[in-house]
Structure 1
Amino acid sequence: MYPISNRWISLALQRVGSDSQDRPHDSLGKTTGSFFAPLLTSLSLCGVKIQSCILLSGQTAAGVQHLCCDGDEWMRERVRAAPTRKPLDPNYQNMSLSRDAVAVIENPVVVRQSFHPENLQVDRIETGQNNPTWIRELQFLHPVSGKVSTHKLVRVFATLFVLCLLGGVVIGVWFIVKILLRPNSAQSPVSLGDTKDTSFCNVTEDTSVTDPRKVFYRISAENSLLEIQLEKLQTWLPVCYERWNSSLGTLVCRQLGYLRLSKHKGVNLTDIGPNYTDGFVQITSDHQSNLESLWRFRGSCSTGKVIALKCFECGTRAKLPRIVGGVEATLGRWPWQVSLYYSNRHICGGSIITNQWIVTAAHCVHNYRLPQVSSWVVYAGIVTSNSAKLAQYQSLAVEKIIYNKNYNHRTHDNDIALVKLRTPLNFSDTIRPVCLPQYDHDLPGGTQCWISGWGYTQPDDVHIPEVLKEAPVPLISTKKCNSSCMYNGEITPRMLCAGYTEGKVDACQGDSGGPLVCQDENVWRLVGVVSWGTGCAEPNHPGVYTKVAEFLEWIYEILESY
């Protein structure tokens, strides 16, 4: 056994230090310093990589050479070249640095940190029972701070990570901005896209509609008399004044698509002339809502008077220049059209039905709860969406939002809502209500109707147009719209379709909740509410609208309750 002090090791290392300056670079690109002293066992020369440096002692130079791999001439010469040096410590007179004592084997590994002999520890490793060898393994108490290549890799990966992160942020911001600039709606009117080449749905349009009514009511445009036509008669009969009241008047007005009765009176038969000679009809005041069962035929009126009434005026507009074909609408052309704004941004369209109530789509408002009602405002009597021009108009605060409780956001069924204004509207040539549909009166397929709104004019638009658009669209029968080449059964009884088989004109994002109006008996009626559809102006995929006629009772109930 030959204990060796740290001091002796230091002297041995100094001897070989000068010879290590011109050693080649290792695979990691590090160079050998003048302080180099780590040693390897002979096994490392045979292919085993040992990362620590080992000082071999207790072997002669020949013994060390024997440990080297055959053919390692360079290593043998290094061993032979090891100089002889006596230790400075007198306690180790038996030790010598001759070639019989120590051979320094240099591993060409770069160490950039200074070598400190005092930091060495000596461990004993038994190589065999009969042949113990003391191996002094140099263990740095302060290891090298890090390999340069590792630092480079860390910097590369960190740079790539930062670049990817920045790219993700940029893409995320772009996506958010694009989404925020889009109105939160599923569709909107007037998209005049190019017709795509495709096979058009050739299902025959059903233009015949079976009217389920057996009794028809109307208000004469000539003298405002209430008239009834029975199913089997061709003539219109006046209604006797007997047992008449305002509740019956409201019931009749709503049957005709008007919200309420404005006034009524009895008119003497002598004042209406000899036009009514086929008899009269009397309406009883039984507590029933079905007008078909409330009438009785009479040969004469006992009071000698008949009913004249006037319902809530709606569905009319001032005489204005007409512009058609999916172009800009003039102010007052669609006086019931409104714009619903949320947080200073156009969200959906809507239709005025009274001076305080707006009809729109449920999907426009169902995500907004009562605490956010204050963020909604309505603009009426406008055709512009330009912020600067819009500042000239008064925004109307919203008091209440009610959407149909049966609304299904997946199927878009029952997609209708009512918005109550805090302050009533003042009607004018540019602000007027639209009429509702008549009870049990469906318009046939092919009927020409109109859509209007601030929707995108192309499906990939980001900004809504500054001026209200309008376009004509024909109604499409539910039978055709539900065919396999169109919506394949997705259209429920509470929906209707309008548009063209080849595309061309349709609703698009931004106009949801807006009106689909048809002229019927000289007044404009809100037949549909823009709801949903596949794409915009796509062939075989016309716009789908909420069928307002199916919600008349619900509308009247809400208006009476609030």
Structure 2
Amino acid sequence: SANASLKTLCTVRRLFLLLGIAGLLVGTAAGAWLLAKHLKKGQLDQAFTALQEPDAISACSDSEEEEPVVRGARNRVSFRINVANALLEAQVEGRPGWLLACREHWSLSLGTLLCRQLGYLRMTHQKGVNLMDIKVNDTQEFVQVRPHHEGSLEDMWQVRSRCESGRIVALKCSECGLRPGAARVVGGADAPPGRWPWQVSVYQGSQHHCGGSVLAREWIVTAAHCVHSYRQLQASSWLVFAGIITRASIRQEDGVSVKKIIYHPLYNNNSLDYDIALMKLQVPLNFSDAIRAVCLPLSQQDLFQGTQCWVSGWDTRPDQAQVTETLKEALVPLIGTKRCNSSCMYAGELTARMLCAGYVQGKIDACQGDSGGPLVCQDEFAWRLVGIVSWGQGCAEPNHPGVYTNVAQLLPWIYDITE
């Protein structure tokens, strides 16, 4: 009996020993396989890792960024429309002062192109003006369109000492970016009537759903994420209310029905890239002191970190889920994209079609009720739609400022749709 027990014990020990050796061999093989897989994965992900470290996701930093948040085109010729007499003027690199534009070889399409470059949606009027009818210095120079011109807008001009025809170009573009005078109000306060005349409330059925901005009498721009999930519904189920400050003043019969909705074909519902949509109204809006269009960004304008801009809307605050009754406004500075994409903020989630604005401390932000609403910045000429409220983490949370659609990156699509 003792011998039998001893034999059994030995057999069990041998069995455990064999199992241990087998386990060791299996573990070694598995380890080798995992190591090989890891090394292979490291090779496959090498490009991705290079993007994430350190360029796409930089370390947290409070340092100033030299790169503009919104980058304009680098052109040798820039233009403006003289507000006093509507004359088209050009500034040529290397030449002092502003040059007048000769009427020679001018075309209707040029007027549209120049209005768009200046941030207007369309051209409304152009004509030739006799030089004899205005006062011109003897040293005044001119630009003239090259005959049989081809190529870019800036390459089609030549400098002249006089206009052969004796006529120069006057140009009028669609009015935008102007508002009736209003006292400055500190960010976070109620917005006075007429202060943001391009702000609209977009209703789905009988509920405020998103904000939006007036681009023209018949065109509203908003965020694609506001409408994409409802794309199976009829466009006419959407209503736009313009010229309102308090939601209590809204009457359903004052809403303008939407005729069609076009969201960007590259819109991504997961990343919110290309987060922009256009609404064409059934009937045009009647412009007034309370209802006006906002300008689009200038094609040659740079906007840097710290530029003070304004966001407005019927915001949803962290302590209440209800949309506020009165239109709110807040002053928010632009934040450098590199900083906003850093490891302590959005860790590489921003694309070229996005920009950040707000406070790192998280004191003021745009919230859900503002989705699709405007982020506007003022220059010496007008208020311009720089961003569209898109997304963010929470509401006014530290290190998570608001993220906006970068309108300047999407101008060709806007012009193509609204043409």
Q: Normalising by structure 1, what TM-score?
A: 0.61
Unaligned 5+ segments in structure 1 are: 1-199
Deviation at 1:363, TM superposition (A): 0.2
1:453 equivalent to 2:313? Answer yes
Residue in structure 2 matched with residue 350 of structure 1 by the alignment: 212
Q: 1:266 to 1:500 in 2, by over 3 A?
A: same
Letter of the 2:342 counterpart: S
Larger radius of gyration: 1
Which whole-Å deviations, capped at 9, do the CAs of 1:213-239 have from their partners, x for residues lacking one?
222111112322111111222321111
1:434 equivalent to 2:299? Answer no
Aligned counterparts of 1:385 and 1:218: Cα–Cα separation in 2: 39
Number of residue pairs matched by the alignment: 358
Local SS of the residue matching 1:229: strand
Residue in structure 2 matched with residue 253 of structure 1 by the alignment: 115
Q: 1:225 to 1:535 in 2, by over 3 A?
A: same
Q: Return the match for 1:363 from 222, 225, 233.
A: 225
Q: 1:262 to 1:489 in 2, by over 3 A?
A: same
Q: Return the match for 2:395 from 536, 552, 555.
A: 536
1:244 equivalent to 2:103? Answer no
Richer in strand (by share)? 2
Contact in 1 for aligned 2:77/2:92 (Cα 8 Å): yes
- Choose 216-225 or 398-407, whichever is displaced more: 216-225
Residue in structure 2 matched with residue 524 of structure 1 by the alignment: 383
Q: 1:254 to 1:398 in 2, by over 3 A?
A: same
Q: Return the match for 1:293 from 138, 151, 155.
A: 155
Residue in structure 2 matched with residue 412 of structure 1 by the alignment: 272
1:421 equivalent to 2:281? Answer yes
Local SS of the residue matching 1:366: helix
Which whole-Å deviations, capped at 9, do the CAs of 1:84-130 have from their partners, x for residues lacking one?
xxxxxxxxxxxxxxxxxxxxxxxxxxxxxxxxxxxxxxxxxxxxxxx
Deviation at 1:203, TM superposition (A): 3.0
Deviation at 1:286, TM superposition (A): 5.5
Local SS of the residue matching 1:249: helix
Contact in 2 for aligned 1:379/1:393 (Cα 8 Å): no
Contact in 1 for aligned 2:198/2:213 (Cα 8 Å): yes
Deviation at 1:284, TM superposition (A): 4.1
Contact in 2 for aligned 1:331/1:430 (Cα 8 Å): yes
Deviation at 1:522, TM superposition (A): 2.1
Contact in 1 for aligned 2:188/2:328 (Cα 8 Å): yes
Deviation at 1:431, TM superposition (A): 0.5
Query: Equivalent pairs: percent with the same residue?
Result: 59
Deviation at 1:330, TM superposition (A): 1.3
Which whole-Å deviations, capped at 9, do the CAs of 1:292-322 have from their partners, x for residues lacking one?
1221121211011211111110000112343
Contact in 2 for aligned 1:205/1:480 (Cα 8 Å): no
Residue in structure 2 matched with residue 466 of structure 1 by the alignment: 325
Q: 1:489 to 1:371 in 2, by over 3 A?
A: closer
Which whole-Å deviations, capped at 9, do the CAs of 1:508-560 have from their partners, x for residues lacking one?
11110000001123201111000011111112211110011111111111112
Q: 1:289 to 1:319 in 2, by over 3 A?
A: farther
Unaligned 5+ segments in structure 2 are: 1-58
Residue in structure 2 matched with residue 113 of structure 1 by the alignment: none
Aligned counterparts of 1:479 and 1:239: Cα–Cα separation in 2: 40
Residue in structure 2 matched with residue 402 of structure 1 by the alignment: 262
Contact in 1 for aligned 2:374/2:385 (Cα 8 Å): yes
- Structure with greater contact order relative to length (CA < 8 Å, sep ≥ 6): 2
The 5 A counterparts of 1:33-432 are 201-207=60-66, 209=68, 212-275=74-137, 277-284=139-146, 290-386=152-248, 389-391=249-251, 394-432=254-292
Letter of the 2:278 counterpart: L
Which whole-Å deviations, capped at 9, do the CAs of 1:2-53 have from their partners, x for residues lacking one?
xxxxxxxxxxxxxxxxxxxxxxxxxxxxxxxxxxxxxxxxxxxxxxxxxxxx
Contact in 2 for aligned 1:404/1:414 (Cα 8 Å): yes
Residue in structure 1 matched with residue 344 of structure 2 by the alignment: 485
Local SS of the residue matching 2:339: helix
Residue in structure 1 matched with residue 14 of structure 2 by the alignment: none
Aligned counterparts of 2:246 and 2:219: Cα–Cα separation in 1: 21
Aligned counterparts of 2:145 and 2:165: Cα–Cα separation in 1: 14
- Choose 291-300 or 528-537, whichever is displaced more: 291-300
Local SS of the residue matching 1:527: strand
Deviation at 1:276, TM superposition (A): 6.6
Contact in 2 for aligned 1:349/1:513 (Cα 8 Å): yes
Residue in structure 2 matched with residue 69 of structure 1 by the alignment: none
Letter of the 1:434 counterpart: V
User: What is the aligned-residue RMSD (CA, Å)?
Assistant: 2.0
Deviation at 1:436, TM superposition (A): 0.6
Contact in 2 for aligned 1:244/1:285 (Cα 8 Å): no
Aligned counterparts of 1:475 and 1:234: Cα–Cα separation in 2: 32
Letter of the 1:503 counterpart: G
- Choose 472-481 or 397-406, whichever is displaced more: 472-481
Aligned counterparts of 1:402 and 1:411: Cα–Cα separation in 2: 19
Contact in 2 for aligned 1:251/1:289 (Cα 8 Å): no
Letter of the 1:532 counterpart: W
Local SS of the residue matching 2:413: helix
Aligned counterparts of 2:336 and 2:134: Cα–Cα separation in 1: 42
